[in-house]
Structure 1
């Protein structure tokens, strides 16, 4: 399932002016040397761009570090803009290469894939290749999900790479124990797909809770008020299910809640510093304007 995070990238190489880079991203920056560009993802992207004067601007409806794949969406859109490439699979692999260059390791290609495709998709991947199957979700099921879905930001921005490194640290989590948890998480996929396809939000809420219980066992970073504590508060105030998105340890929480209980959940979380994000479901993936 993809969300419309509103990630947009505008890029122009309008003249032959040498050694001038003008960026309007999270902050305005202007300079004459690529190595001085403050954002490592932008540096990696501009290495793939034609030489000369560059103007790049981006915007999004969610902050970085939210666990919603906005970094992958930005990298994918920016790569398409600077290279002129619009083949989905080449962009997905290229965006993953940029991420690996910046982070020094690969974290999969699922975020890049869903950003490129959009909508409700069942992804199967071995880490290098990915297969995507569109789910037959009816309009009625989509409406049911939209009316019960709540997304909140915890107020905590986390480093996904750091959190995931701990989750795969075999010193903290013996391989057989970690793999057993991951297999249990995988076993939730088919019931979750069935619930999505039929619009069973109560059943999907229960699956979210099972997933979160398993996921938070993988990392000590998830053992704080901004993660499982907020999930517990949501549940205590009427949520059907809730989980931290992405790597966890902050970012955003996906909550399923009956419309009549929504205000109770939002108000209870607001007291703890979490705020509602008004994002719709994304259906189109990467588009060119």
Structure 2
């Protein structure tokens, strides 16, 4: 195939984050609830006339005059994630890869690195005429990021981007993953998913951070007791969603953030604490920093009547990013 294009959604995680890391789930089992959103990473793989490898990234496109990475062999490619994903799929020469993202910066807490891995796998496999299901894409993404590259991350992001939609994931001690689909959008105007979506707001703090650094600290310092309490929020979140008790969702996000802040000192800072306090004072019922913490995006639960007040209260500290839920995972474009 001369060209393939994949589009892979980013995700927001509600409760249970941290319990998807192997050190925890192999002893206790982990659970997470997350949803994908309408912010995407697009990967285009096309055939070259020579045997070289060219990679266009968002950074190259953002800086005029900056050339793509062009190397004669895979071993010389300086993008570890791209290099090892190519090696995993067996596409090792003679391609150009262009990567674009709706939200360009890494370190956002939206699972961009894993979305990129899943999207690369999907596009590279399709380039060879292979089409794989979400489980295969998620499992291979975990293999690349965790086992090959040795990143101290969990498994929820890979599974979220591969499967898509609002889902509950169980991470079993034997390394298997159970995936449950929660109510999706589209069942009238009063379906649970749409009602939940209307009360959620994303804010970009403008702070970029290294998830790997924070997660390494968390693995060293976090107590199993705190992570067990975080895991206990998952069935409570499901119950609130089933009964359309959406204000309870806000309270659970608040409880998750309170517990998460105690996992590692670098998860929060003065700016994040100020942002959170101002949002609550303006009417948010709860929220959390997404991903590993330390910066990136805040997710808040805000009654519709208070949303404009929260936007005003955070002006200058964090910028509002409208979004919608995305029911599908990584897909190939025609």
- 8 Å CA contact 2:119–2:330 kept in 1: the answer is yes
In the superposition, the TM-score normalised over structure 2's length comes to 0.78
RMSD, aligned α-carbons: 1.9
Q: Distance in 2 between matches of 1:181 and 1:13?
A: 49
Is the counterpart of residue 42 in structure 1 residue 82 in structure 2?
A: yes
1:14 CA drift (Å)? 4.4
Once the 2 structures are TM-superposed, how far is the Cα of residue 201 of structure 1 from its aligned partner? 2.0
- Measured after TM superposition, the shift of residue 103 of structure 1 is 4.1
Q: Distance in 2 between matches of 1:32 and 1:83?
A: 21
Q: Does 1:148 align with 2:199?
A: yes
SS at match of 1:285: coil
Could you say which residue in structure 2 is the equivalent of 1:79? 121
Q: Does 1:157 align with 2:208?
A: yes
Give the structure 2 partner of residue 129 of structure 1: 176
Match of 1:94 in 2: 140
Say if 1:166 and 1:106 are closer, same or farther in 2 by CA, change over 3 A.
Answer: closer
SS in 1 for 2:99: strand
Q: Distance in 2 between matches of 1:226 and 1:38?
A: 34
- The 5-angstrom pairing of residues 8-19 of structure 1 reads 8-15=42-49, 17-18=50-51
Distance 1:118 1:201 in 2: 22
Q: How does 1:218-233 map to 2 (within 5 A)?
A: 218-233=263-278
* Partner-residue secondary structure (3-state), 2:38: coil
| Number of the residue aligned with 2:250 | 205
TM-score under structure 1 normalisation?
Answer: 0.90
Residue 7 (structure 1) shift: 1.5
* Range moving further from structure 2, 225-234 or 275-284: 225-234
Structure-2 change in CA distance of 1:101 and 1:43 (3 Å) = farther
Summarize the Cα distance change of 1:3–1:90 in structure 2 as closer, same or farther, 3 Å threshold.
same
Q: Which of 253, 274, 277 is the equivalent residue of 2:321?
A: 277
Name 1:55's counterpart in structure 2. 96
Greater Cα shift, 42-51 or 201-210: 42-51
- Structure 1: runs of 5 or more not aligned: none
8 A Cα contact 2:152 2:216, kept in partner? no
User: 1:250-276, CA deviations, whole angstroms, 9 ceiling, x for partnerless residues?
Assistant: 11111111122112211222222x111
Higher RCO, 1 or 2 (CA under 8 Å, sep at least 6)?
Answer: 2
What's the counterpart of residue 113 of structure 1?
Answer: 159
Change (3 A) 1:234 1:256: same
- Partners of 1:102 and 1:233 lie apart in 2 by 42
1:23 corresponding residue in structure 2:
55
CA distance in 2 between partners of 1:66 and 1:193 (Å): 26
Unpaired runs of 5+ in structure 2?
1-34, 61-66
Instruction: Write the distance in 2 (CA, Å) between the matches of 1:212 and 1:50.
Output: 41
Q: Could you give the per-residue CA deviations for residues 223-244 of structure 1, whole angstroms, max 9, x where no partner exists?
A: 4124333212211111011111
What CA distance in whole angstroms lies between the structure 2 residues aligned with 1:164 and 1:51?
31
Confirm or deny: 8 A CA contact 2:268 2:295 kept in the other structure: no
